[in-house]
Amino acid sequence: MSAAGLPFKNLTRKPGRTWALVLLTAFLSLSLFAGSVVVMSLQSGLRSLEARLGADIIVVPAAAKTKTDFQNILLQGTTGAFYMDAGLLDQIAAAEGVEKAAPQTFLATLKADCCSSRLQVIGIDQQADFTVQPWIAQSSSRELGPLEVAVGSDISAGVGDTLRIYRQSCPVVARLSPTGTGLDTAVYCSMETMKTLLEAAEEMGVSHKVTSDNAEEVISAVYVKVAEGASVDQVATSLMSHPRWKVAVVQTRSMITDVSDGLAGVASAVKVLIGAVWALSFVILLVVFALLTNERKREFAVLRLIGASRRSLRRLILTETGLVCLLGGCLGIAVGAAVIFLFTALIESALGLPYLTPDGGKIALVAVLSLLGTALMGALASARTAWHLSRVDTGSILREGN
Amino acid sequence: MKKRVLPLVILCLSVLIAVGSQTFLSPCVHEDGSFGACHWAGQAMLGLGCLTAVMGLLLLFRPGSRSGLFIAAAAAGVLGTLIPGTLIALCSMSAMRCRAIMQPAMTLLCCLVILAAAAGLILEERKGGRKP
């Protein structure tokens, strides 16, 4: 047997001890990898939300009970519909400090053909819209035609499929890139299509009328871009305080701050958890390696006797640790990846925050860093043992055995 | 004893697949009592779980054809990863229970069945190779 094969032989000779160490290091890399990916996904989700909202202020009917209901639609994909007179759009657009104003109309479906849940349909004015349209443009170069829809990435219908919404056949012409927010579970259509769907809904008994004499034109929200130099707070206050409008105003900045606060809480909890796991695992590894020092004294004394140098003994221990860390690290990362990527939807809904998995390159980098971190931890924990064992007093150790 | 570890693992995973598909890993629960396609994916997983459980029992208590049974268990595992979502459609929204819980859990359990069966097959073939 060659000296190079000795670490491997040592590990396979004691499978119980080896597997215990492998599982411990797997736990280390699992916590680091999974924790880091979750935190990174939350950060990407927040960035995506910022990019997707695009507006400074969102005006919704007072009946939408302000932020909470509307925030749930945006962040968690819950369905909801509330309406106000479409005539308000022109008045809001003409208000002081408003640069752009784009309407959206919501419609919650009944059980769609695709599944037992309700879908959120969002109608956009394709000429005026500056929030959803750029996002749709990434997937489709043309405007949405009559009854054509674009679907969020969390809806499994593909381009060419047809969704049945209120007995209307709506061909899917674009599938949007993921945002990690509730917007991924929505279906987008033009205002003309929305009008048809609202009429179909009306026929099926789902009313959207805001007043008995206004069955035609309704909108759910107006996305407002504040003019440069104008104060968002002042514009929001002036819109909300209008005596006849009966609207609520959501400032996207405060919504993002709320999400950011939630994200900071989760990220801190994850970091504390990773720290605790690492501290505990480091102590356990130190204890395990200290116990091994006594257990393997004779083995190393014999190796010294047959001519192994102190340096080669240190290398032997560190190679063994490296192999254990490599195997454990890979195992931990594989388990972490399986759980994190398979259960993405569950994690997303459990956290209730925007959650967008980073791209493959970033994940590969996190995996490599987790593996290196685990190897470094193993090397640090076994360094003392390697030093002690390489300095065993061969004669006295072997005499003790007799 | 060592010979029984992997069959026991396969048996336990199979029971989890069969029981889970009807209980804690079940497809979407509909308020009005109706069900969609994902319900049938759950039923198929129940059948597949029972089938692999029988394979696990045979591996435990019948000494012959172990390699063949491990191969069959691995093939059943592959089938199990394909049933929810590929062979039988699930609900369209990823937040739905069938796609958020049942599909990933069944995929994970079936992958573990495949790994256990592959490990069993390798050990069995090695043992066969050592025989004169």
pLDDT tens-digit map of A293-321: 777 878 878 888 888 888 888 888 888 88
Give the single-character DSSP code of B98: I
With CB atoms and an 8 Å threshold, state whether B28 touches A114: no
pLDDT tens digits for B30-54? 767 777 789 999 999 999 999 999 9
Q: Does A338 touch chain B (CB under 8 A)?
A: yes
Is it the case that residue A212 has pLDDT exceeding 50? no
State mean pLDDT over A98-104: 91
Of A340 and A248, the structure prediction assigns the larger pLDDT to: A340
Residue B31, min C-alpha distance to chain A (Å): 9
State mean pLDDT over A119-134: 88
Is it the case that residue A50 has pLDDT exceeding 50? yes
Q: Which two tokens stand for residue A361?
A: 């390159």
State mean pLDDT over A92-104: 90
Q: Does B54 touch chain A (CB under 8 A)?
A: no
With CB atoms and an 8 Å threshold, state whether A156 touches B30: no
Is it the case that residue A113 has pLDDT exceeding 60? no
The average confidence (pLDDT) of chain A is 84
Instruction: Give the per-residue pLDDT at A363.
Output: 95
Instruction: Give the per-residue pLDDT at B76.
Output: 97
Chain A residues inside the 8 Å CB shell of B100 = 343, 345-346, 349
Chain A residues inside the 8 Å CB shell of B96 = 115-117
State mean pLDDT over A224-236: 89
Optimal mutation site among B94, B102, B103, interface A, most CBs of chain A within 10 A: B94
Is it the case that residue A2 has pLDDT exceeding 70? no
State mean pLDDT over A22-43: 92
State mean pLDDT over A204-215: 63
Q: Does B101 touch chain A (CB under 8 A)?
A: yes
Residue B24, min C-alpha distance to chain A (Å): 14
Is it the case that residue A339 has pLDDT exceeding 90? yes
Instruction: Give the per-residue pLDDT at A115.
Output: 53
Is it the case that residue A227 has pLDDT exceeding 80? yes
With CB atoms and an 8 Å threshold, state whether A155 touches B91: no
- In A83-217, the DSSP E strands lie at 84-85, 98-111, 118-124, 149-151, 162-165, 168-175, 186-190
pLDDT tens digits for A349-389? 888 888 999 999 999 999 999 999 999 988 888 888 888 77
Specify whether the backbone of A147 is left (phi greater than 0), alpha (psi in -120 to 50) or beta.
left
Q: Give the distance, in angstroms, between the CA of residue B4 and the centroid of all CA atoms in the same chain.
A: 18
Answer for the pair A123, A193: CB distance below 8 angstroms, yes or no: yes
Q: Which residues contact A137 (CB under 8 A, 6 or more apart)?
A: none
Optimal mutation site among B92, B103, B115, interface A, most CBs of chain A within 10 A: B92
Q: Does B91 touch chain A (CB under 8 A)?
A: yes
The whole-angstrom separation of Cα B88 and Cα A112 is: 18
Instruction: Give the per-residue pLDDT at A114.
Output: 53
Answer for the pair A75, A262: CB distance below 8 angstroms, yes or no: no
State mean pLDDT over A318-340: 93
Answer for the pair B112, B13: CB distance below 8 angstroms, yes or no: yes
Of B105 and A289, the structure prediction assigns the larger pLDDT to: B105
State mean pLDDT over A80-109: 87
State mean pLDDT over A282-301: 81
Chain A residues inside the 8 Å CB shell of B104 = 342-343, 345-346
